[in-house]
Structures are given as structure tokens and as C-alpha cells.
Amino acid sequence: MSVIVLVGTTKGAFLLRGGHGDWQLEGPLFKGWQVTAAGRSPHGRYVLSTASHVYGPALHVSEDLVDWRQVERPPSYGGAEGRRIDRYWTLAHTPHGLFAGVSEAGLFRAADPAGPWEPVAGLNDHPSRPMWQPGLGGLCAHVVVTHAERPSTIWCGISAVGVFRSDDAGTTWHPKNEGVLCALPDKTWKGIGFCVHGLAVDPRDPDVLYRQDHRGMYRSRDAGDSWQPNETGLPASFGFPMVVIPGSGTLLCFPIESDEFRLPPEGKMRVYRSTDGGSTWSPSSRGLPQTHAYATVLRGAMDTDGSDPCGVYFGTTSGTVHVSADEGVSWHSLPWLLPRILCVRAFRA
């Protein structure tokens, strides 16, 4: 199967075209710009976000990954006091439209990437909003996932606030963090102060969720109402990306050594896999460097292509890209050294 992998870096986007064994590199697109998120609509339209310390963030759309046009009316807080958008963290297509998660944290929604974009007021103006605090990476809404059987149920992860759930297609939202260790113990609003890093839904039972948090790895069996630790076999409970294989439900994560050190344990590049719903984890290192490997993987820099068998892709802070054609059992390191990788999105061509 032919696959396109979009790799967003601090200096532009690169395209990997090919199959699981033969790849061609194209780019950079948007040379010199940070490329922070990307997505594709069910109709095949691509959307990509850029950021600049000078010019700010922007959204761009394309039909073919060659010709791009900038969105003229992107998401905006419209002068809301003290709020401005400096980065897009996720562009997630759902049955209820395209969601853009941004920093300063908030959600916006549109039927089409070109707009019009509307703020998701129930979350952006949640009563707890005055008490929201940023994590080290800022105050960012960085992940949106939906329930496969009840599409009106939507979850959003915000750092360092926590997971929120809506059961009415995004009108009202409620924090769902019971059982998770708080990252900000001086919080002044019950249910917030949790720094969620990654969030995934089990495709076999969409009431089961998994989250990589600042203070551990967790699983929920009741759609997020409560959470329990599931760290057996992990060398560290800290990390950022988490993905789930659509067919088998296999989980993958990339543990790193604590919020203080942020390095792969023992200097070994290892993805950890769980085939039992997160109850146990085991390392997957075949084909990955196992000595003096100190690159890490950011929260948006791992993805799957949804094929069977499923391809898995991740990019590192050192600019390396790694590919698995067997659901993360073994890996192949591609022969290119890119800028620092911010996001990875895989699309079946």
C-alpha cells in the first residue's frame, strides 16, 4: 500500500512517499517555518499549520500537497481579553467537523478548513478557565478524540489542565481526571491541574481510554469518569506520544526519564508496546539504536497509517525518522537527518 507521511519540523515540512520498504523524500514545504500540525478531511483536502516567532501562526489548505493557499479567516479569539493564538497543536477531523486545538488553550471548529471557524465556547469559557495554568510547553489544547459508537462524545486534552469530555457534541464540557496524580497541587478548582501528554481510545471498546500523563500512564474503562495506573513493564512513567493500532488495539508509547532529565532510559531508543490493553508493556528495539541514543519524541510526532498490517512512524528531536511495517515489532531507520521534528502524520495515498 502506498503511504504519504508528512513530517513537520522547526524548518518546514517534509513528505515521505512510498510503502513500508521503499521511501522517497520531498521538501521542505514552507521552508524555514515551524510546521506544527496537519490533517486530512474525509474528502481528501489537506490542512497544515505553520508558526513563526515573528509572524505568528497560520493555516494552509491543499488538494494535492503541492499547491497551498493560506486560510484568510483562521480561528481567532476575537479580542477576548488576555487571549491570543500563537500555535496550532492539533487538527482533528471528527463527525462534527474539524477541530483546531490551539495555544493559548482553546478549541475552534469548522465544517471546512477554509472556514468559517467558530470558537467552542463551552470549553474556551469553561468556569474553571481563570485557574488554568500552562505546562512547560505552554497552555495548549493538543489532542481531540471521539467515541466511535457515540460520536457526540468528545474528549480534549489540555496541558496543564487535564482531560475534558463533552457528551453533547461539544456544547458542554466537564473535567475527567479522577484517579490521576495532580501536576499542579495548588489548583483552586476541583478537577483541574493535570498535565495530560497523550490520549487514545481503544478501537475495540471506545469506552476504554489510555492517557500518558505528566505523572504516569493511566487507563479508564468508563469513558474517562475514573482512571487507574497501568505502568507494569515501563522503565519510566513519563513520556509524551501515545498511539493505538486501529485494528488490533495494540498500544505504543515512548517513555523518557522523568520531567527533570527527559532522556531515553539507559541511552537506548525503545518504543514500548502493549497487546493487552495497557496491563503490561514490553520494549520494542529491533532496528533502533541501543547505544548513546538520546533523542526523544514529542507528543505529536508518532502516528499510524491504518493499513493491515499497520505501519507506525515516529520522528525525534534529533531529526531522525523511524518506520515499522509490523505494528511496532521491528523498526527501520530512514537515511535522512531532518530538523527537530514537531509532528508526524501518515496518510494512505
Q: How far is CA 160 from CA 11, 121, 239, 311, 340, in A?
A: 27, 19, 14, 31, 23
Span between the terminal Cα atoms of the chain, in Å: 8
What is the spatial distance between Cα 163 and Cα 320, in angstroms, rounded to a whole number?
Answer: 30
Q: What is the average pLDDT across 49-74? A: 96
Q: What is the pLDDT of residues 86-137, one digit of tens each?
A: 999 999 999 999 999 999 999 999 999 988 999 999 999 999 999 999 988 8
**Cell output for 85:** 493564538
Indicate whether 58 pLDDT > 80. yes
**Cell output for 221:** 474503562
Q: Is the pTM of this model over 0.75?
A: yes
70, 44 in Cβ contact below 8 A? no
Strands, E assignment, 228-299: 228-229, 238-244, 251-256, 271-274, 282-284
| pLDDT at 188 (0 to 100) | 59
What is the spatial distance between Cα 266 and Cα 259, in angstroms, rounded to a whole number?
Answer: 16
Length of the chain: 349
Q: Which amino acid is at 307?
A: S
What is the spatial distance between Cα 221 and Cα 210, in angstroms, rounded to a whole number?
Answer: 9
Share of the chain above pLDDT 90, in %: 89
Closest-CA residue to 194 (of 182, 209, 211, 212): 182
CB atoms closer than 10 angstroms to residue 215? 16
**Cell output for 98:** 474539524
Residue 79 pLDDT class (50, 70, 90 cuts)? confident
Q: What is the pLDDT of residues 197-247, one digit of tens each?
A: 999 999 999 999 999 999 999 999 999 999 999 999 999 999 999 999 998
What is the spatial distance between Cα 6 and Cα 13, in angstroms, rounded to a whole number?
Answer: 7
Question: Residue 42 has what DSSP assignment?
Answer: T
Q: Is beta strand 196-201 parallel, antiparallel or unpaired with respect to 140-146? A: unpaired
H/E stretch holding 261:
helix 258-261
DSSP string, 74-102: ----TT-TT----EEEEEEEETTEEEEEE
Q: What is the pLDDT of residues 246-300, one digit of tens each?
A: 989 999 999 999 999 999 999 999 999 999 999 999 999 999 999 999 999 999 9
49, 39 in Cβ contact below 8 A? no
Closest-CA residue to 113 (of 129, 101, 97): 97
| pLDDT at 272 (0 to 100) | 98
